[in-house]
Amino acid sequence: MSILEVKNIQKSFGKERVLRDISLNVQQGEVLAVIGPSGSGKSTLLRCATLLEEIDFGYIAYGDLVMARSEGNNERAVYSAAPVLRQIRRRFGLVFQSFNLFPHFSVLRNITEAPVRVEGKSREEAEQQARALLDKVGLSEKADAYPCELSGGQQQRVAIARALAMQPDILFFDEPTSALDPELTGEILKVIRSLAQEKMTMVIVTHEMAFARDVSDRVIFMDDGVIVEQGDPQQVLENPQSERTRAFLSRFSHNG
Amino acid sequence: MSWDNVLNTTEQIAQASLQTISLFSLTLIFSLPLGLLMAFCRMSRIRPLSLLMRGYLLIMRGTPLMLQLIFFMYGLNLPFSRFQVAVVAFSLNYAAYFAEIYRSGIEGVPVGQSEAANVLGFSKGQTFFRIILPQVIKKILPPMGNEFMTLVKDTSLAQIIGVAEISLIGYQLQQTFVSMIPIVIAGVFYLLMNSVVSRGFSMAEKRLGYYR
């Protein structure tokens, strides 16, 4: 069964149709890279999948749990009841472009707060787990620091640990390196790569083409609210079939 | 003024300062939570509620507190003592100012904070009280400090409805003794109270200074 199933979703902001007709499946252990020009709807897709925006039409499900569905073709999507949505929220995690760590909490508390408050874990258990996660992202010595004392790259690694602490089935990344100085992107990509090796299911919106090719099992190219092309990273990035993909990628290589 | 009279004046003003301090404290106890509630109404997506609150805030902040005191005392005929009427009027008035301060503070917290909490599964209540409010408090400490200090001085307005607070007693003693000394002593009492308030806020700002 797919971890995430998205069928024919549509989303408009006022008159602007941001997602026109998007369908996609993510399988267990799959790493999906989503590329495309800004304004193509990549971030909106992630925000709809993580309940930060509501879709207008279509169907979204996590495994056996349906988040929202349209009954007919022209029926607006209806969301499941709050208890189901609560259950669904525990299945995904999201890493933001701008980290969004809680500035008033220490690094450790940023990671433990949700397991303690939402899942009802004991503080000891949550802290033990948090320390293991910090170790994994290479920040074990920063447990007691505050976010403002960390570099952007370190903050983003904490944000990844915070998302992992909820043991999600799938982890979304919304341009995780775009707010970072170029020399700091490497440490994030390294962490994501190690997660891929552990068969973490991930959907990564990114502008790092080389990274997308390296780490992903499948690349999706989005433009103007639709999926223009998808497939094997090698094929999409090096031998794109669509004119739009080619135009986008060439712009990219010229810009460096 | 004789030394005895100075002592006597100080004693009477110290007595009156209890009224001032009670009015100050009770006003805060009621208006701080009330202001938060008003801020929520003001920011509500329910249009009529938000419009109603805007009107209320305009009236309370746009007319003199002294007139409001007179209105509450003689216009509404509340079954309250003078002091209680003063507490009601001050609380409703200060809540309006606090509401706007809260609102600016809440709007100043990046939306990413509640989004991150939302994705992690925090309830709305947890998100507000554990994630947003602590950051709001840090942001609003300076304007709140101003309001608190203004409130200390504004309590003197309660004399208009006959509350025996510091200024009223100071004024009466000044008339009795035809001397400026009672006024100076009254001023010293306000100054003392406000130095405590100011000190409290510096300490609070320092305590919350551990993060940006």
Summarize pLDDT for B110-130 with one digit per residue, the tens: 999 999 999 999 999 999 999
Confidence category of residue A69, pLDDT binned at 50, 70, 90: very high
**pTM assigned to the model:** 0.90
- Which residue type occupies B100? E
To the nearest whole Å, the CA of A241 is away from the closest chain B CA by: 36
Distance CA A254, CA A223 (A): 19
Compute the distance between CA of residue A234 and CA of residue A252 in angstroms, rounded to an integer: 16
pLDDT at residue A182, rounded to an integer? 86
- Mean residue pLDDT of chain A comes to 93
pLDDT value for B100? 97
Q: Report pLDDT for A256.
A: 43
Inter-chain residue contact A147 with B110, CB threshold 8 Å: no
* DSSP 8-state code for residue A165: T
The residue-averaged pLDDT of B162-166 equals 93
Residues 6+ apart with CB under 8 A from B92: B31, B34, B60, B68
Question: Other CB atoms closer than 10 Å to residue A105's CB: what's the count?
Answer: 19
| B40-54: pLDDT as tens digits | 999 999 999 999 999
Query: Is B52:B67 a contact under the CB 8 Å cutoff?
Result: no
Write the burial class of residue B8 (CB in 10 Å: 0-12 exposed, 13-18 middle, 19+ buried): middle
What pLDDT is stored for residue A77 in this prediction? 94
Of B111, B120, B130, B139, which to mutate for an interface test with A (greatest number of A Cβ within 10 Å)? B120
User: Could you tell me the domains of chain B?
Assistant: 3-207 (1.10.3720.10)
Residues B67 and A145: their CA atoms lie apart, in Å, by 52
Q: Is the pLDDT of residue B12 over 90?
A: yes
Interface test with A, best of B119, B136, B207 (most A CBs within 10 A): B119
Q: Is the model's pLDDT at A252 over the cut of 90?
A: no
| Rounded CA separation B165/B169 (Å) | 6
Q: Which of A50, A86, A102 sits opposite B113 (nearest CB)?
A: A102
pLDDT, mean of residues A96-103: 96
CB < 8 Å & 24+ apart, contacts of B68-77: B68/B92, B68/B93, B69/B157, B69/B158, B69/B160, B69/B161, B70/B160, B70/B161, B72/B161, B73/B161
- How many interface pairs between A and B have CB atoms less than 8 angstroms apart? 61
Q: Supply the pLDDT for residue B93.
A: 98
Residue A170 has pLDDT above 60, yes or no: yes
A255 has pLDDT over 60: no
Give the pair of three-digit tokens for residue A162: 């915070």
